[in-house]
Structure 1
Amino acid sequence: MWQATLRRAVLNGPALVTIAAIGILSIMDGVIKYVAATHGTGQIAMLRYAVGALAAGAVFAACRTPLPGRSMLRPHLWRSVLVSITALTFFYSLSVLQLAVALALSFTSPLFIALFAALFLGERPGKSILLALGLGFAGVLVVLWNELDMGAGGSLANGPGIAAALVAAVTYALAMVTLKSRAARDPIPTIVLLQNAFACVLVTPLGAWQWVPVSGGELGLFVLIGVLGTAGHLCMAWAYGRADASRLGVFEYTAFLWALVIGLVAFSEIPSPSTLAGAALIAGGALIASRRSRLREAEVEVGP
């Protein structure tokens, strides 16, 4: 019996770590939405990755990770371009849309993750994964049906914010599939350090252009954002190195459950019945996906 228990723990480990990572990153999103009222998207992204690079550097040094070779730099630079685009577009959507709406739109990313994983990594999602994806997407549609009612003046009137959230979903999916292709090859501290450092360099010009003074209290919030981002992506890198991207992508839907709690506690947002119904479908899909997993390494490189 203990062998079966151990096996279940090994198989469910990546799923549990992914859910924890999504929770950490969802808290980060809530803090970002708060600071977005007074700071531009570029400045938020720059400070987020600057602090993230320092935190990742500390982990890198503490783990005594070998310095990355030149062959590692190109794929991680490519991935950091995707990460930077995701951050800028998603942070912008957070600044102009309700937290639940922005996250609901981002929940198209698991569909893109499954698609890109099949195209680039040769993964073949099973019926349970496809069912989980279908339930999760149905839950998103239920939420959006109520939240984005144009006739009632809903957020669909904000075309740029919605477009930004959808672009973020696509680039995030590509970044996660690329993470899968590197997680079996490179040390986790190296992956997260290069991601933060490269992304910081890429977004710094926009951040400098949008710069406004930062108070002491706000600086603490930016430090929190960077630390949460680094912790979340350390967990993500560990999980994606041990399970299929298409399976783990389904757990992105659990971010909505985190959003319900964060929205209620931090922004006094009370979810509607349709929002709760959508969340139930999302949770059901995630539970189905957690029942099975196949541990395998990515055998191909993703990116230029």
Structure 2
Amino acid sequence: MFASGLCFVGVTGIVRYLGTELPAVQSAFLRFAWGVVFLLPALIGVLRSGMPGLHLRLHLGRGVVHVAAVVCWFYAMARIPVAEVTAIGYLNPVLLTLGTVVFFGERLSLRRVLAIGVALTGALIVLRPGLREVTDGHIAQIFAAVFFAGSYLFAKRLSGIASAGQIVAMLSLVVTLALAPLAAWVWVPVSAEQIAWLAVVAACATGGHYCMSRAFAAAPIAVSQPVVFLQLIWAALLGWVAFGEAVDVFVLLGGAVIVGSVSYITWAEARQRRRVVMPEVL
């Protein structure tokens, strides 16, 4: 999980470095196009094997939502500090929890309600509306968190009927195809250096997801989740060293509040599951 955090901070740092010279849609398209290249062997196998209609509809639905998420994220990343993008992004698990209640009928316990309330308080600490300007970059990142949560809901549904390789490969393909006409509409000349950096972005993102999967396989989420907070530390340091962004104590505090609430609910529910499956002593 430590390595995963470094990979994702690398993604945000490079996109921040590329700035606003390329439209957000075009940057996102080039990043996912490189992802298709990296995943081409797996993608060929998926397409050859085919899939039922339900699978295809879910893949397409997830792709559309994910397109909105990545465009908002690329837009925000080029306009607000790296640490703020990272901190607001921590809302994803909270929104995902709400989504599972609405769409999958999961029970919203008092523990979950309190954790959600604490996490939203953390988001307000980061944004501080009324005390400073909330820019279009902040709003874009909030929408990105919402859309990413929607994408993960599709992934949760797909995880029960499709393999992990199929889910990842189809996401890259569908998002690339969906972004292509949008990117063509706003296309500007792109340099070899920009293309190369976006290839590194795709490689870092792929490495981050791989490391995260290994972490989840090696230990319970309750163990690995607190390590996610280190990603905010690296993001703040990167913004300070590479881009001269001031280290905002309120961003660190708000991010800690969000991660703390998510970590608590993860730990508490994992403990509850262990109690349920524990055999009764006779």
Structure-1-length-normalised TM-score: 0.73
Note closer, same or farther for the CA distance 1:48–1:242 as it changes in structure 2 (3 Å cut). same
Does residue 35 of structure 1 match 2:18?
yes
**Which runs of 4 or more aligned residues in structure 1 lie more than 6 Å from their structure 2 counterparts after TM superposition?**
63-66, 236-245, 248-254
- Is contact 2:88–2:126 with CA below 8 Å preserved after alignment? no
Q: Distance in 2 between matches of 1:183 and 1:80?
A: 15
CA deviation after TM superposition for structure 1 residue 54, in Å: 1.3
Alignment of 1:121-140 (within 5 A): 121-124=104-107, 129-140=112-123
CA deviation after TM superposition for structure 1 residue 239, in Å: 8.2
Who is 2:95 aligned against? 112
Alignment of 1:96-175 (within 5 A): 96-124=79-107, 129-145=112-128, 154-156=132-134, 158=135, 160-175=136-151
Does residue 177 of structure 1 match 2:160?
no
| Aligned sequence identity (%) | 26
Note closer, same or farther for the CA distance 1:112–1:291 as it changes in structure 2 (3 Å cut). closer
> What is the one-letter code of the residue matched to 2:58?
P
Note closer, same or farther for the CA distance 1:119–1:258 as it changes in structure 2 (3 Å cut). farther
**Structure 2, gaps ≥5 residues long:** 275-282
State the SS of the aligned residue for 2:267. coil
Q: Distance in 2 between matches of 1:119 and 1:74?
A: 20
Q: Distance in 2 between matches of 1:86 and 1:196?
A: 13
CA deviation after TM superposition for structure 1 residue 48, in Å: 0.8
| Cα RMSD, aligned residues only | 3.7
> What is the one-letter code of the residue matched to 2:49?
L
CA deviation after TM superposition for structure 1 residue 137, in Å: 3.0
CA deviation after TM superposition for structure 1 residue 59, in Å: 4.8
Q: Distance in 1 between matches of 2:63 and 2:159?
A: 14
Q: Distance in 2 between matches of 1:285 and 1:120?
A: 22
**Structure 1, gaps ≥5 residues long:** 1-15, 296-304
How many residue pairs end up in the alignment? 270
Who is 2:73 aligned against? 90
User: Cα deviation per residue 1:136-167 (whole Å; 9 max; x = unaligned)?
Assistant: 3333322222xx555xxx441x3x33332222
Q: Distance in 2 between matches of 1:125 and 1:21?
A: 30
Does residue 200 of structure 1 match 2:176?
yes
- Is contact 2:69–2:143 with CA below 8 Å preserved after alignment? yes
Does residue 55 of structure 1 match 2:55?
no
Note closer, same or farther for the CA distance 1:272–1:196 as it changes in structure 2 (3 Å cut). same
Note closer, same or farther for the CA distance 1:277–1:164 as it changes in structure 2 (3 Å cut). closer
Q: Distance in 1 between matches of 2:130 and 2:141?
A: 17
CA deviation after TM superposition for structure 1 residue 257, in Å: 3.8
Q: Distance in 1 between matches of 2:220 and 2:153?
A: 9
State the SS of the aligned residue for 1:211. coil
- Is contact 2:61–2:154 with CA below 8 Å preserved after alignment? no
CA deviation after TM superposition for structure 1 residue 192, in Å: 0.9
User: Cα deviation per residue 1:29-73 (whole Å; 9 max; x = unaligned)?
Assistant: 221122133211111011011001111224556x99973414322
Who is 1:216 aligned against? 192
- Is contact 2:64–2:175 with CA below 8 Å preserved after alignment? yes
CA deviation after TM superposition for structure 1 residue 236, in Å: 6.2
Of 266, 273, 298, which residue of structure 1 is paired with 2:249?
A: 273
User: Cα deviation per residue 1:215-271 (whole Å; 9 max; x = unaligned)?
Assistant: 3322221111122233344566788999999xx999977653442233234323231
Q: Distance in 2 between matches of 1:270 and 1:45?
A: 27
Note closer, same or farther for the CA distance 1:45–1:57 as it changes in structure 2 (3 Å cut). same
Q: Distance in 1 between matches of 2:114 and 2:227?
A: 13
Q: Mean alpha-carbon deviation: is it higher for 279-288 or for 40-49? A: 279-288
Who is 1:67 aligned against? 49
- Is contact 1:192–1:233 with CA below 8 Å preserved after alignment? no
> What is the one-letter code of the residue matched to 1:137?
L
Q: Distance in 2 between matches of 1:221 and 1:22?
A: 19
Q: Distance in 2 between matches of 1:136 and 1:233?
A: 24
State the SS of the aligned residue for 2:187. coil
